Amino acid sequence: MISHQAYFEFLAGSDQNAPAWNPVLAGLAVLRLIDSRIDDKSPVAMDWASLESTRSSVAGISAGDPVRAILLQLIGAVAGDEISRETVCRGLLAYGRALNFEGRWALACDVFAGADKIARAPEHARISIEANIALGAASRRMSDWDTSAHAYARAAHLADTVGDNAGALHVEVGRATTHMVRGNLPTAESMLDGVIEEARTRELTDVLGRALHSRVAVAHQKGEYAEAIRVGHQALEVMTDPTQRDGLMSDIAAAFGGLGLHDAARDGYLIVAATAQSQWVRWQATLNLMELAALDEREADFNEYAREMADAPLDPRLRANYYLYLGAGQQRFGRNDEAEVSIAEGLAIAEKHQLHQLTHEATTALTGLRKHEVPRRTLITPPAEIPLSLRKIASELSELREAAMSSP
């Protein structure tokens, strides 16, 4: 396989005038510079022309792009005579996370795999553990189950070898999330409950927050929306990572939507769509705003959201969801022929990428459409009695939404 093939494939399939072209090309140049330097045992001085050419390429990236600073730091890390593998790997992990924020999963996988290789475990075992956990999650986003499973297995082996309890539990959260995504909810729930108990016992708050977040997603898929909100609020109290909090806020909003409390759900999604650091989370929030617009019969808003997401470079899971939400909205507005085409497209994507839960949802939606049945989501009404705890959380969302929308 060609080194950094994902980068070459991206560039080959992209317009050179597109905003992402130069940052990706510069990223590839930095990665190739690292490749040439990291194992260079020769006494010959490095190629300064290549170094300056790469530095110039990165300097051309917009100053507001976080990737620019990360890539310049990586160049600095390999420019001297003494190269710290740990410093290079930390830079690569930061670069991979930045690519994750942009939703560029294939590129992120390439970078995380590179960090693991350079770490040369067990020399820098904890870096390899972190890199493989990140690789497992990013490849799962692409429905690359084999790569994801292999990455998690390697991370688990290394964590066990060096006695990294937090790392081992992080791996279990990742594996449980994979079971959830593929529709095996009982296994996911059992694994997460075990992680939550152990993380509380060991006072590992970062692991606890992540495990509770994944537990929210399982409760949501089971239709236990009040439980999802309750657990999600617990997670917010211990979670400190801003990106994780963005995703959690979106999931809490989704649970309010599942209860039929659309105002609270919309507040949550608007907060996330406006403030989330991760592009993937913003896309997810926008898709859910699109769904709410259809449920509330706001066709103009629905069409606007649909146009916004039509050409976004979504991963398979979000793209399948896009077509399901698009079809449901089209059905809501009496455009049944369009709805059938959209839902069928969502079904094809779900089947191709072995997204079993979405395959089931798409098949059910298609059958209901052909039988002229009203979609279940349109029949949801808010509970007659809303617990005080949920009302308080909804009020908090409203206040946060007002603050987020009023910010410059």
pLDDT (tens digit, 9 = 90+) per residue, 349-376? 999 887 888 899 999 999 999 998 877 6
pLDDT (tens digit, 9 = 90+) per residue, 70-93? 999 999 999 887 889 999 999 999
Cα–Cα distance measured from residue 104 to residue 193, given in angstroms and rounded to the nearest whole number: 31
pLDDT (tens digit, 9 = 90+) per residue, 27-56? 999 999 999 888 765 544 457 778 889 999
Cα–Cα distance measured from residue 167 to residue 158, given in angstroms and rounded to the nearest whole number: 9
The reply to whether omega before 122 is within 30° of 0 (cis) is yes
Per the CB < 8 A criterion, the answer to whether 264 and 253 are in contact is yes
Q: Could you tell me where the DSSP H helices lie in 203-276?
A: 205-221, 225-238, 242-258, 262-275
Cα–Cα distance measured from residue 179 to residue 194, given in angstroms and rounded to the nearest whole number: 15
Cα–Cα distance measured from residue 31 to residue 5, given in angstroms and rounded to the nearest whole number: 12
* Domain regions of the chain by residue span: 1-124+133-140
7: three-class secondary structure by DSSP? helix
* Alpha-carbon distances, residue 347 vs 72, 168, 254, 389 (angstroms): 43, 35, 22, 38
Q: What is the pLDDT of residue 281?
A: 84
pLDDT (tens digit, 9 = 90+) per residue, 198-229? 999 999 999 999 999 999 999 999 999 999 99
Q: What is the pLDDT of residue 43?
A: 40
Per the CB < 8 A criterion, the answer to whether 214 and 192 are in contact is yes
Per the CB < 8 A criterion, the answer to whether 260 and 234 are in contact is no
User: What one-character-per-residue DSSP string does 70-93 give?
Assistant: HHHHHHHHHHSSS--HHHHHHHHH
